[in-house]
Chain A
Amino acid sequence: MERLVSIKNRGVKMAARLFLGVWMIVVILAAFLWAPASVDMGQISRIIFFHIPTAWVTVLAFLVCAIYSVRYLKGRAALDDLAASFAAELGLLFCVAATASGSLFAKATWGSYWNWDPRETSIFVLLLIYGAYFALRSSVDDPARRGSLSAAYSILAFVTVPVLVFVVPRIPAVQSLHPADSVISAGGKLNMDARMLLVFLSSLAGFTGFAAWVFSLRLRVARISARLAVPKEAHI
């Protein structure tokens, strides 16, 4: 019976994976072929189908990392610490992707790859935080201590980042050039063509699903290797 359930589960997982793959292919094709380009920005506007979802996953991974950190400090399960670090790894990866794609967009529309626009500043700080998180992890040997130090750091960083939302726009260097009106207008109304919006939301869902899938894979590998590690030590 248990075996039957596990086979059925495997079937569902397989179907979900296949669906995700087809979904992403359709989203990518639609982003280039089906959705119209923005009138005032031209073909470059298609970057929003990829840039904003990567930035969204970056922030989401940051949140997941903080949640697993709290869980680790409460329950001291080694797997929670690993999960927090996997979330941070994913976040770092997507943060680099978001920074690079945003920088390309900046070059195309404002003429320079980097100019400390408020959004650029905040993504840069996130990049620094992820970097510092891994620097801290790599310099502590004892797993339990590494877990609690890095968990405390990620929670502290998570508390700080919202403050940046108030601080960064006050930095006098540059007025924001980030195209806020292209997605959501000042009145809070969605300002997108219906087809663009559909592709954009599908891409958001697809990227989130993709990140969740990679995250669950990492967790599974960690679980299996933990299970394998126990009898090996028992032999010794």
Chain B
Amino acid sequence: MTSSSHSVREALAVLSKDLRSEFRTRHAISSLLLFAITSLAVVSFSVSPYSLDADAQGAFLWIVLFFSAMSGLSRSFVKEEESHTVMALRLAASSDSVYIGKLLFNIVIQAAAGVIAAPLFLLLMDIRPAQPGLFAASVALGTIAMASSSTIIAAMISRANSKGALFAVLAFPISLPGLASAIRSTSISLRGGQAGAASGDIRILLAYSVLMIAASLLLFDFVWND
């Protein structure tokens, strides 16, 4: 009991350390947000004379969110390598706490970008979602799914030589199940459908996130300590 509460405290300490250093530099959030806003502007600018159907709109939103995550989320571990603080972190906290802390940090960052990008998307594309609750739930769960699959990938690429390009290459096939379900339930929420049309996708998103976090917890020790 004490050890589990201890590791929770450790994970929260990693999270608060990351949040504090992020607040000082605003490195990850600014690259995430700037990417989201520029790509949203490009999408909106290029399709503004046409009204797209809900499938295309859902796909556009997730293309923006996925690639903005790819531009920002890898920072969480690459930053530690670049500032040579990996060793200290490895000594200070157990690998499970590091993983949980980084996962929470990635969720917070990605959610902060989503909170700004998703309303902006609705505004720029002039969309009124038929089911706003479902829309919010899809964006939130999709964000968690993406963070849960890409946190361990970020840890992997921080140990590799080519850090930038590799992240999207490694993360895409792993994130695809979550991404596809998020796109589908977002499209349903924009179009509107009978109640429960998206329940399967929401369940897949939840199951996928749990699966990814469990697998990452099992594997993270090998990635982190080698």
Contact = CB atoms under 8 A, between A and B. Distances in A.
B130 to A, nearest CB: 17
A149 B159 contact: yes
Given A136-B160, A145-B159, A148-B226, A170 B173 contact: no
Contacts of A167: 176-177, 180-181, 204
A213 to B, nearest CB: 29
Nearest to A125: B173
Contacts, number: 95
Interface in A126-140: 128-129, 131-132, 135-136, 139-140
Given A135-B166, A152-B223, A155-B215, A140 B159 contact: yes
B211 interface: yes
Interface in B75-112: none
A149 B160 contact: yes
Interface residues of A, number: 31
A118 B58 CA distance: 20
B156 A153 contact: yes
A141 B156 CA distance: 13
A170 B176 CA distance: 13
A157 to B, nearest CB: 6
Contacts of A205: none
B194 interface: no
Contacts of B149: 160
Given A73-B222, A166-B204, A172-B184, A152 B152 contact: yes
Contacts of A172: 55, 184, 187
B226 A139 contact: no
Contacts of B200: 170
A168 interface: yes
Contact of A131 (B160, B169, B180): B169
Contact of A163 (B162, B177, B201): B177
Interface residues of B, number: 35
B216 interface: yes
B170 A140 contact: no
Contacts of A157: 173-174
Contacts of A155: 215, 219
B211 A152 contact: no
Interface string B127-162: 000000000000000000000010011001101111
Contacts of B184: 170-172
Interface string B43-55: 0000000000001
Contacts of A156: 152, 174, 212, 215-216, 219
A144 B181 CA distance: 36
A15 interface: no
Contact of B204 (A131, A152, A153, A163): A163
A151 interface: yes
A164 interface: yes
Given A149-B223, A152-B223, A171-B184, A129 B173 contact: yes
28 contacts: A125-B173, A128-B173, A131-B169, A132-B169, A135-B169, A135-B170, A136-B157, A136-B166, A139-B160, A139-B161, A140-B160, A145-B159, A148-B223, A148-B226, A149-B156, A152-B223, A153-B153, A153-B156, A160-B149, A160-B177, A160-B211, A163-B177, A163-B204, A166-B204, A168-B180, A170-B184, A170-B200, A172-B187
Q: Kindly list the 7 A-B residue pairs having the minimum CB-CB distance in the complex, ordered from nearest.
A: A163-B177, A128-B173, A148-B226, A152-B219, A139-B160, A167-B177, A139-B161
Given A141-B161, A163-B208, 14 more contacts: A135-B166, A139-B160, A139-B162, A145-B226, A152-B156, A152-B223, A155-B215, A156-B216, A159-B215, A160-B149, A160-B176, A160-B212, A164-B176, A164-B177
